[in-house]
Structure formats: C-alpha cells, structure tokens
Amino acid sequence: MSGSLIIAGLGPGAAQLITPEVTAALNEATDLIGYAPYVARVTERDGLTRHGSDNREELDRASHALRLAAQGRRVVVVSSGDPGVFAMAAAVFEAVDAGDPSWRELDIQVLPGISAMFAAAARIGAPLGHDFCAINLSDNLKPWDLVERRLRLAAQAGFVIALYNPLSKARPWQLGRALDLLREELPGQVPVIFASAISDAREAIDTVPLAEAIAERADMRTLVMIGSTQTKLIARANGKPFVYTPRSVGAAT
C-alpha cells in the first residue's frame, strides 16, 4: 500500500497561522476530508477531491479516510485548531483501533496546528502563562457529572481553565451551569475571557469578572477561559486590558 493518511491542523482561521508543513500536505493530497466549513477553507484544485461532511460524524469520516488511504490515496483529514485537541486525531485512532487490522500499518501522521486556546490567549496577553487545563464542555461523549467534577478539581488546583465547545443548540444550559459551579469555587473577581472567531473577520474578545459572566456571551465558535486567582489585568488607555497569569505564585491557592 502506498496510500497515506495525514490529520492536519488548520489553526483558528487565518492563513497566516497555518504551518508550512500543513500547507505542503494540502498541496500533495488527493483527497480532503473533514467538517464541511473546514474543508471549504482549502482552495479547490485539479487532482484534489474534497469530501465535506456534517458535524458530529467524526467516526464515519475517520473510517472513510482510512478506507481511502488503504486504497492508495493520499488523504488529508482537516481539523480546525490542533487536530489532537478535541478534534479529528482521536477519532481517527479510535477508528484504527476498532477497524480493519491492516489499518494500523498505514502511514498515518498527525500535523499539529495552532489550537484555539493559544490563539485566543495570544490575542489578549498571556492568560495561560501558568499551569492550566483544557476541558471539552460537551457532554455528548462523557457524563455531565464528570464535567462538573473536573471543573471543581481544576478550580481547586488553581489551573486557568480553557473551555472548548462551551455550548450549542443541543447543549444550551451547560455553560451557565459551569459558570455557577465555578462561582462556588472561585472569587467573583476572577477574569473570564470570551474569545470568538479568533483571527477571522468576526473576531471578538472580551473579559468580564466571573461574578458577571453569563453564558449568553458565548456561541459555538467561542472559547471561554476562566482565570485563576492569580490572573491579572493591565489597564490600557484604549479600554482593552492585557490579561496575564504570572509565572510565579507565592503560596498555595
């Protein structure tokens, strides 16, 4: 078999944030597979077949990609951000693990990308400058009780918390519940950052105290970051503060 499967990260949106390694892989692909809006970010050209699919079809998409690679195609599965973070890389390896034993001998590579939390953090300062965690707030694939338990432990640990997939039409109440729970664990002045559509034309980012954070500020394209008790704001004349978490902490939180 001469086929290959690459799972590539397109970063948050801007072409300037796509690594040369990913660009080269896209230029050599015969087949492109992914959630339709991500596939649409790659320009059409002769010799490239684009297979866009709906959201929440990750395993079907992964199996499709593996079958094509096994047939000798050069397949690239595209993800937004980094493919290893709540994205297609895990789905592909789940499909490999459960699928045809020959699939595990395929040439499979993951090419990293700029993850949403780092793109968002960079836009506002350095909120992830100290220990942090990333939690997928979706309870489609894990029980909500476990999400709540992780949020509490993360707050108790003093992690800055990046929340991916904070809400959707099918999951309208989870972010509000998470914010309520975090208000039980953390002081009300802890900064909460809502970062939407980072690096594209609709980019919006703002910071509010946890006490005033409401779920309605977020949508499907929002990343939410909850600061720790150490996270600080630096006021500026333009009204857009820098937000950062110092590297040092004097005593246990």
Among 142, 172, 208, 211, binds a second copy (CB under 8 A): 142
Q: What is the DSSP string of 184-240?
A: HHS-TTSEEEEEESTTSTT-EEEEEEGGG--GGG--TTEEEEE--TT-EEE--TTS-
Q: How far is the CB of 18 from a second copy (least distance, A)?
A: 7
> Residue 69 is inside which H or E element, if any?
helix 58-70
d(CA 42, CA 26): 8
Query: What distance in Å separates the CA atoms of residue 134 and residue 67, rounded to the nearest whole number?
Result: 32
Binding test (CB under 8 A) with a second copy, winner from 67, 150, 171, 217: 150
**139 makes contact with a second copy (CB under 8 A):** no
76 contacts a second copy (rule: CB under 8 A): no
Q: Does 130 sit near a second copy (CB under 8 A)?
A: yes
- Measured distance CA(182)–CA(180) in Å, rounded: 5
43 binds a second copy (CB under 8 A): no
Contact positions with a second copy (CB under 8 A) in 79-118: 82-87, 89-94, 96-97, 104-105, 108-115, 118
Whose CA is closest to 196, among 172, 173, 225, 176?
225
Q: Considering only the stretches 28-36, 174-182, 209-217, 233-241, report the one whose residues sit in contact with a second copy under the rule CB under 8 A.
A: 233-241
State the nearest-atom distance from the C-beta of 235 to a second copy, in Å.
7
Give 149 or 214: the residue with its C-beta nearer to a second copy: 149
Residue recorded with tokens 């949508």: 219
The radius of gyration computed from the CA coordinates of the chain, to the nearest angstrom, equals 20
23 vs 212: CA distance, rounded Å: 42
Among 48, 126, 181, 197, the residue binding a second copy under the rule CB under 8 A is 126
**Which among 31-39, 165-173, 216-224, 245-253 is the span making contact with a second copy, rule CB under 8 A?**
245-253
Does 17 contact a second copy by CB under 8 A?
A: yes
Nearer to a second copy, 52 or 129 (CB): 129
Residue 121 or residue 178: which is nearer to a second copy going by CB?
121
Task: Say how far apart CA 76 and CA 41 lie, in whole Å.
Answer: 13
